[in-house]
Amino acid sequence: MEDLRKLEEYYDGVLRLITLHLIDLCGAIVETDKKFIDSNYPKAFRIKLNDENIEIIIAIPYNFPDALPKVVIPDPYFSDLYPIPHLDAKQVLCIFDSNQAHPNALDPIGVIKETIQKARQLIYAGKNKLNISEYMDEFESYWGQESTNQYLSLIKLTDAPKIIEAIS
């Protein structure tokens, strides 16, 4: 029981540290909208990316820095951006590939800085259509989004992006 209490104190301490960092150095505002907060992500921050004229929400998992934060693009910014590579229909911007990225418990501020920087890069590239080819990398995740039907496709997959039409 004592170990659990120490672990909770550790997570609370890290959360206080990154809260101060985000508010003081990034101008973040603590997000209170329950749409972005749940038991898995109990704390969230709204950050203005001035260079992109957009806001993002960084949701912090209860066990941060042992788990990575989630980035959400709130409305009306989501409506202006979607669809771009790495942004799903649930407004979540996929910052890290969970198969390749690992949390860094020794540098929680660094993880937050990298999260913001990566979000900035993906939004810039998506807005300026610089990463269209990355749809191929994420094909499976995009294909499955909210699809309840079965489809027959005669399209040959290539590296070049192309427009397709569905006939029902």
**Mind listing the pLDDT tens digit of every residue in the chain (168 residues)?**
788 788 889 989 999 999 999 999 889 999 998 888 888 999 999 999 987 789 999 999 999 999 999 999 999 999 999 888 889 889 999 998 767 777 888 899 999 999 999 999 999 999 988 887 776 666 555 555 555 666 667 777 777 777 777 665
Question: 119-123: long-range contacts at Cβ-Cβ below 8 A with a sequence spacing of 24 or more?
Answer: 119/49, 119/56, 119/71, 119/93, 119/95, 120/49, 120/51, 120/52, 122/84, 122/85, 122/86, 122/87, 122/93, 122/95, 123/49, 123/52, 123/54, 123/56, 123/73, 123/81, 123/84, 123/93
Question: Is residue 103 reached through a cis peptide bond, with omega within 30 degrees of 0 on the bond before it?
Answer: no
- Strand, helix or coil at 160? coil
Tokens, residue 92: 């979540």
Dihedral of CA 62/123/117/102: which sign?
positive
Record the tokens describing residue 101, joined without a space.
Answer: 């990225």
**pLDDT recorded at residue 133:** 73
User: What pLDDT sits at residue 15?
Assistant: 93
Tokens of 155: 């399209």
Q: Is the CA virtual torsion 70, 71, 75, 79 positive or negative?
A: negative
Angle between helix 108-127 and helix 2-26 axes, rounded to 10 deg:
50
Question: Quick check: helix, strand or coil at residue 99?
Answer: coil
In degrees, rounded to 5, the angle at the alpha carbon of residue 157 between the alpha carbons of residues 151 and 158 is 155
Report the pLDDT value the prediction gives residue 141, as an integer from 0 to 100. 56
Give residue 102's pLDDT: 78
Whole-number pLDDT of residue 93: 93
Residue 26's region, left for phi above 0, alpha for psi from -120 to 50, else beta, is alpha
pTM of the model: 0.78
* The pLDDT value given to residue 103: 80
